[in-house]
Amino acid sequence: MNRDDVEILTRERRYGGFLKVEEYRLRHRLFAGGWSEPISRELMERGHAVAAALYDPVREQLVLIEQFRIGAYAAGEAPWMVECVAGMRHKDEDPVAVVKREVKEETGLDVREIEFACRTMASPGGTSECCDIYVARVDARHAGGIHGLAHEGEDIRVLVEDFDDAYASFFDGRRLGSAFTLLALQALALNRARLRATWLGTKETQT
């Protein structure tokens, strides 16, 4: 079934801040045939996003960021989370261009190579947000410091860590990982050998 198998009866905005909440009243076709009874669903609208695992294939290092997250705080977790670079994109923006912009803003680094990994939804039961996941090559030699846009309230610390230990830390209970971060790191882990061969060849080194 597809979008034609949904009938929107009403759609009302319930909240209109940075996060927008809308209430849909709808019905949809059933697998057994016919139509459902009218149902109501609340939906959070926040736009679409990109995320990227930043990898230095020469030094076998990840560049990660750490910042305050209100969702982790509200969930009773430590509110400073270690993540991959991510950011929101406008409807008509090129996602690769957005990745490069966010990497520069959040780490001060330039993207040298980039590869698409997958597209995912954050939580389709309650939000429309889709995220394009990438793996990007960076030079980690000078990564570090505090970054972010002050007028957006960003206070972002850059971390450089060896790939194996950093990757393991998200899957052995040492760190709470966001879904986008875990997907990006898994995509890198699955393709790491191929990407190193593609990005470095047999003789290339960073200069």
Identity of the amino acid at 89: R
- Strand, coil or helix: 88: strand
The DSSP code sequence of 111-139 is --EEEEEEEEES-TTTB--EEEEEEEE--
Cα–Cα distance for residue pair 19/40, rounded to 1 Å: 19
In degrees, to the nearest 5, what angle opens at C-alpha 112 toward C-alphas 154 and 56?
Answer: 80
Contact 46, 131 (CB under 8 A): no
Cα–Cα distance for residue pair 27/48, rounded to 1 Å: 25
Report, as residue numbers or ranges, the catalytic residues: 152
Cα–Cα distance for residue pair 179/168, rounded to 1 Å: 15
**Residue 116, CA atoms < 13 Å, CB-side half-sphere:** 10
